[in-house]
Structure 1
Amino acid sequence: MNGREMAARIRSGTGFIAALDQSGGSTPRTLRDYGIADGRWQGEDEMFALIHAMRTRIITSPAFTGDKIIGAILFEKTMDGEVDGKPVPQVLIERNIVPFLKVDRGLEDEDEAEGGGVQLMKPIEDLDALLLRARDKGIFGTKMRSVIRSANCAGIEQIVAQQFAVGQRILAAGFMPILEPEYDIRALDRAVGEAMLRDTLLRHLDGLPEGMDVMLKLSIPVEANLYRPIVAHPRVVRVAALSGGYARSKACRELARNEGVIASFSRALLEGLHERMSDDEFDRALAAAIDAIFRASMQKIATSPGQPE
């Protein structure tokens, strides 16, 4: 696929985006869920070697193809790694899967934001150099995450403004940005805060000039189809949903209630996979996960306006 073909696939392709971008903070839990205890590795190099082996097993599985997966988000070390002697992004492209790169460097503490209640992204001081490397690797787009913990209007504005500011730098460098202002699904005021987030996103989207299109990755909202105006916005290429800590069955059930939103699941995609599985067992389990997430992304359930979860 060339760049134009990747853009068309992301805009209108049938399928979902796999999130394989667990970083240093989330990798130990991912390995434990996969059956690899903390004592199996010493230091980051060994930890990332183990997670790369897991990702390699996923990417090379016969279940992991462009038939149901349109894109995959990679961690930086995965982008720089190889599968069967080929760069990982090249392997994905050969499978008709568009490669994205996680570019954020983690989260600030809540007290760094005005009024608290949110975690902004840490400065991405090496963004320009990272994007140059990503271009050489064949990466199509990027993803960056910040987190909303409570319905603080000023904090939500800060998060969205930061996402759009960095997103415009990424657009200027020739990449498609996925903006991810995640709303913590454990927040008690989530319904109120998600409405604030929707309105703030729409205001910033309205301010984008024609041709500066973005993608959004959002938590599955309490109110079904809350983000429909964002899905329909002319500056939005695609809206994806993270699983946010939901089990796969719950995440798929809630996703299916939101028209036009596809999955970009990480933990829910990997749920049930285990290092000790035979290749056949592993491939069957991964195929079942992909099938369930694909159906939730493409086959929607009619809901009444304002219907809560």
Structure 2
Amino acid sequence: MFGTKMRSVIKLPGDGVGSVVEQQFGLARQILVTGLVPIIEPEVDIRSPRKAEVEDQLKAAILAQLDKLGDDQSVILKVTLPEGADFYREFVDHPRVIRVLALSGGYTRAQATTLLARNHGVIASFSRALTEGLSTAQSPAQFNAVLDEAINAIATASRT
């Protein structure tokens, strides 16, 4: 059974990154004792002028916290699509991580699926990218066609 998610948005590198991760893992431990699986969601603002630096700091902080979890404790991570290919591979392979999900984070569907396809073992958790192009003014056939196209593109990118 799964628990709740804790979401934070990080804009710049600094001491706050580690504090956010500590806070989220503190809440995760409270959720774990109830038998639920926490979903940890430290989102990096895709418009950050120092996004890559934030990602480096975030990755190090998360790995440190993952290594503190017990053998019977696992989490799900929801992260912003990174700048580099396979950047979060250590999370995908970590024994305390059930799954790594990627947020579309404001990227267009085309951008998000391109970035996702470069990150093997990570799957999509795209709401904005999924609904891109959908409109109440569309006929049911048009709506379904746009939605089918979105689902296929996202599913294909998630299969890497």
TM over 0.5, shorter chain? yes
Instruction: Tell me if 1:146 matches 2:8.
Output: yes
The answer on 1:270 being equivalent to 2:131 is: yes
* Partner AA of 1:272 in structure 2: G
CA shift for structure 1 position 159: 0.4
Gaps of 5+ in 2: none
Which residue in 2 is equivalent to 1:229?
90
Instruction: List aligned pairs for 1:96-111, cutoff 5 A.
Output: none
Distance in 1 separating the partners of 2:68 and 2:100:
18
1:243 aligns with 2:133: no
d(CA) in 1 for partners of 2:132, 2:6: 23
Q: What residue in structure 1 maps to residue 117 of structure 2?
A: 256
Match of 2:45 in 1: 184
Alpha-carbon distance, 1:243 to partner = 0.5
- What is the aligned-residue RMSD (CA, Å)? 1.1
Q: Distance in 2 between matches of 1:148 and 1:203?
A: 18
Q: Give the Cα–Cα distance (whole angstroms) in 2 for the partners of residues 282 and 173 of structure 1.
A: 41
Contact kept in structure 2, 1:195 and 1:226, CA below 8 Å? no
The residue identity in structure 2 corresponding to 1:217 is K
Structure 1 spans left out of the alignment, 5+ residues: 4-139, 301-309
Give the TM-score normalised by structure 2: 0.95
Q: TM-score by structure 1 length?
A: 0.50
AA at the equivalent of 1:232: D
| Counterpart residue identity of residue 241, structure 1 | A
Quote the sequence identity (%): 50
Deviation at 1:278, TM superposition (A): 2.0
In the alignment, the residues of structure 1 paired with residue 147 and residue 33 of structure 2 have an alpha-carbon distance, to the nearest angstrom, of 37
Q: Work out the CA distance in 2 between the residues paired with 1:241 and 1:277.
A: 28
CA distance in 2, matches of 1:282, 1:171: 40
Find the aligned partners of 1:185 and 1:221 in 2 and give their Cα distance: 9
Counterpart of 1:231, as a letter, is V
Compute the displacement of 1:144 (Å): 2.1
Shift of 1:285: 1.4
Matched residue SS, 1:231: helix
| TM superposition shift of 1:142 | 2.1
CA distance in structure 1 between the partners assigned to 2:46 and 2:31 by the alignment = 28
Matched letter for residue 155 of structure 2? F
Q: Output aligned runs, 1:135-214, within 5 Å.
A: 140-152=2-14, 154-214=15-75
Which of 77, 80, 85 is equivalent to 1:216?
Answer: 77
Deviations 1:14-35 (A, max 9, x none): xxxxxxxxxxxxxxxxxxxxxx
CA distance, structure 2, for counterparts of residue 210 and residue 252 of structure 1 = 33
1:208 is paired with a residue whose SS is coil
TM-superposed deviation, 1:214: 0.1
